Chains A and B, each alone.
Chain A
Amino acid sequence: MDFISSILGTTTELSPLGFAIRTILVGFLLWAEGRVLPHRSGGQFAGYDFAFFWMMGGVTASPLFDPKLNFLNTITIIVVIYLMHYLISYLAVKNRSFAKLVIGQPIVLVSGGKVVRKNMARALLPLELLLSELRVSDAPNLNEVEAAVMETSGHISVLKKADVQPATPTELNLPSPPGGLPTLLINDGVMVKENLCEIGHDESWLKNELGKNGVTQPEDVYVALIDPAGTFHYSVKTES
C-alpha cells in the first residue's frame, strides 16, 4: 500500500523500480494526450503553440524528475495547460483582433524585390539570417525574390519573381490531367470500403483491377491507391 502511494503521491525516496513503474504510468498519459492534442500545437503556427508544445512534454514527464512530484498535480497542470491552449485557439479562430494580439502578424521582409530595413529590425533579424533562410528556401539569389515574409511560426516564406518561376501547363497551352489527392483503396491488406464508395466503385471492381495486374488476393497488397487521373498504384506485401 505504501509502495503504491509512493508511486502515485509525494515521497522523499523512490527506488529505480518505483520510477520504472511511474514511467509506465506516464506512458498512459502520453497515449491519452497524443489522442487529444490539438493538431496545430505540433505545427507550431505561433508562439503560444511553441510554448504549449515544449511545456506539455516537460509537465507530462515531471513525475520522473523528482520523487516529490506526484501524479495528481501533474494531471491537474496538464488539464489546465490544455484548456488554456484550447481557450486561446478558440478565441483566435472566433476573433481576429484577439488572434493578432496573441499570435502576432507576419512581417514583410522583402517587398517588390527590396529588403525592408525597418521591418528587418522589427523582426529582430540580422541580414545574414535572412540570406541564410533564403538559401534554405531554394532562393539563394535576392535578384530572384519578389517577396519574403517572416511568418508567425518563425520561418520565412519566399515568393520568387514570375520570370524565374517554373512554367505551368496553362502558360504553355498544354493539357493537364485531373489532379488532387489520391484515394487509399487498400491499407495493409484491408480494403477501405468508404473510399471505394466515394469514387463510385466497389470491391469487385478493385479485385478486377488487381487481377489485371496479376494479384489474386487483396490481402496480399500492402497499399493500393488511385489518383484522380485514374492511375492505379499498388505494392504487395512481399515486395522487397
Chain B
Amino acid sequence: MMLEAFFNGGPTLPFWALAIRAIILYIALIIATRLMQHRQVGILTGHNYLVAAGIVSLAAIRMVNPESSLVSGLVIVFAYAGVNVLLSYLDIKFPKLVDRKPVILMKDGRLNKKDMMDAHVTLDNLMGQIRLKGAHNLSEIDSLVLEPTGKISVVKKPSFLPVNRHQMNLPPKFVDLPTVLVYDGEVQRDNLNRLKLDLKWLKDKLQQQGIADSSQVFFAVLEPSGSLFIST
C-alpha cells in the first residue's frame, strides 16, 4: 500500500517519502541534463531554453505534490530529455528546419533598420548590449549579429582592434593548449606520454623547484612556451 503510494502517488505521503522522491527526481534531472549535453546547459537555441524552463518546473511540481505519480515523473523527465536531444539532432541534420537564423543588425558600419525592427530590437537595447561587449562606439564597429541565442555579437573594424603580433612584425610564436601533468597529486601519465616525456623528466623538473615527490603537487601544467606552472 505504502509502496503503491510512493511510486504512483497517493493522497498523503509521510515527509520522508516525499524527501526520497525528491532525491530520486533530482538525480534523474542530473542524469537527464548530462544526456542533453552541454548545449542544453549553454541554452543555445529556442528549444533548449524552453526545455530548461520546463523540465525544472515539472520535476519541481512532481516533487512537492504527493498525489502525482513518481513513475510518470521519471518517464516524463527522460522522455523530455529525449525529445530535446532529438530536436538538437534534427538541428544538425536539417538546420533550416529547427533553428532560427542569425539576423544581421549592422553590416559594413551601417545599421539595418528593417531587420532591427523585425527583430524588435530597440536602439536603446542595442546600445546596451554593445556596451556589455565593451564596444561603446558604433563607429568602431563593422558588423553586429543578433544570434539565434539572442546574444548580440560584435565585430569591430580592424583599425580599432588591439594591435596584434603580426602588425608589430614580431616573430612567429608557438601557441597551443596547456597540458595538465599533475592533478591533485596524481601524475597524468597519458598526457606525459603524448608529449613524449617521462616520469624522470617530471621528477627532475619538480626537484629543480625543491619538490621531492609529485604527490606534494596540487596542480602542475606544462605550457606551450615550455614553462611549467606548479602549485603545491
Contacts and interface: CB of A to CB of B under 8 A. Distances in A.
A152 B128 contact: yes
Nearest to B136: A159
Given A53-B49, A177-B158, A43 B129 contact: yes
B145 A27 contact: no
Contact of B54 (A58, A93, A174): A58
Given A31-B87, A43-B129, A153-B128, A57 B163 contact: no
Interface stretch (A118-126, A163-171, A204-212, A213-221): A163-171
A112 interface: no
B52 A23 contact: no
B2 interface: no
B143 to A, nearest CB: 5
Contacts of B71: 16
Contacts of B148: 39, 42
Interface in B133-168: 134, 136, 142-143, 145-152, 155-163, 167-168
A30 B163 contact: no
16 contacts: A23-B80, A27-B84, A30-B83, A33-B47, A40-B125, A57-B57, A61-B53, A65-B58, A65-B68, A66-B61, A105-B124, A153-B132, A169-B163, A174-B163, A178-B158, A180-B142
A3 interface: no
Given A33-B46, A151-B131, A176-B159, A89 B120 contact: yes
Nearest to B54: A61
Interface stretch (B18-26, B96-104, B187-195, B207-215): B96-104
Interface in B22-57: 43, 45-47, 49-55, 57
A30 B108 CA distance: 35
A131 to B, nearest CB: 18
> Which of A20, A24, A61, A155 has the most CB atoms of chain B within a 10 A radius of its CB?
A61
A45 B162 contact: no
Contacts of B52: 57
Given A57-B57, A153-B129, A34 B161 contact: no
Nearest to B128: A151
Q: Which of A19, A33, A64, A172 has the most chain B CB atoms inside 10 A of its CB?
A: A64
Contact of A57 (B54, B79, B122): B54
Nearest to B44: A42
Contacts, number: 224
A31 to B, nearest CB: 6
A105 to B, nearest CB: 8
Contacts of A20: 75-76, 79
Given A42-B150, A58-B54, A93-B116, A31 B98 contact: yes
A84 B56 CA distance: 24
B155 A24 contact: no
A230 to B, nearest CB: 13
Contacts of B46: 33-35, 37, 42
Contacts of A22: 76
B80 A64 contact: yes
B197 interface: no
Given A33-B50, A92-B120, 14 more contacts: A16-B72, A26-B80, A34-B45, A35-B46, A42-B148, A45-B125, A61-B80, A65-B57, A99-B122, A149-B131, A176-B159, A179-B142, A181-B143, A181-B145
Q: Which 3 A-B pairs have the closest CB atoms?
A: A57-B53, A43-B150, A61-B54
A152 to B, nearest CB: 6
Contacts of B45: 34
A39 B116 contact: no
